Amino acid sequence: MKVFVPPFVGFAIFGVIVLLQSIFYPTHMSDMGKGNLHAFMACFYYCWPLYFITALLTQGLIAIPVWRYVEDRSMLAKDITVIIICTICFLLAANIAYIIWDEHTGRLHLVWLAAMMLMIQLIYWIINSFVMLMLEGKVKVKMPVKRKAKETQAPE
């Protein structure tokens, strides 16, 4: 359950965003590789099964063991783990951005690519962590309940 549900929720949210975006800006295979947001959306649109399998493997082989390791640790250990994960996300985002960056677009474009990739990763891991907390029962989502006004009876 913890291996499948958190990546599924994250991908469902990103998938809805990509599908809504593709309604207004049609996505084609030729859009991939241009180094802009639309290109990333096109890449997700066409390659999501591969990304989802990668997410399941990452969840099962890395995220769950790290989650279990820090589960009973102090708050300081949890904070250090979050900082390490953010650093790894930053390094991966910077490396991937550098690989797909076209030097003719300038360094500002490289910074923009790295920042966008970092935000996508961090948003995914925030969603993933929130769903994990919900599955463990540590976060409960309360639905608003409409209460009926109590009928007061007149004293006899």
The CA distance from 13 to 110, in Å, is 26
Among candidates 86, 82, 102, 87, which has minimal Cα distance to 35? 102
Q: What is the pLDDT of residue 46?
A: 87
- Domain layout of the chain by residue ranges: 5-135
Q: Average pLDDT of 17-35?
A: 83
- 72-121 confidence digits (pLDDT tens): 899 999 999 999 999 999 999 999 889 888 889 899 999 999 999 999 99
Is the Cβ–Cβ distance between 49 and 60 less than 8 Å? no
Q: What is the pLDDT of residue 150?
A: 64
- 34-65 confidence digits (pLDDT tens): 777 778 888 888 889 999 999 999 999 999 99
Residues 6+ apart with CB under 8 A from 100: 33, 35, 113
CA 116 from chain center: how many Å?
A: 12
Q: Whole-model pTM above 0.75? A: yes
Q: What proportions of the chain, in percent to the nearest 5, are helix, strand and coil?
A: 75, 0, 25
The CA distance from 132 to 130, in Å, is 5
Q: What is the pLDDT of residue 152?
A: 62
- 106-116 confidence digits (pLDDT tens): 999 999 999 99
Residues 6+ apart with CB under 8 A from 14: 44, 120, 124
146 or 98: which carries more pLDDT confidence? Answer: 98
Q: What is the pLDDT of residue 108?
A: 95
The CA distance from 119 to 126, in Å, is 10
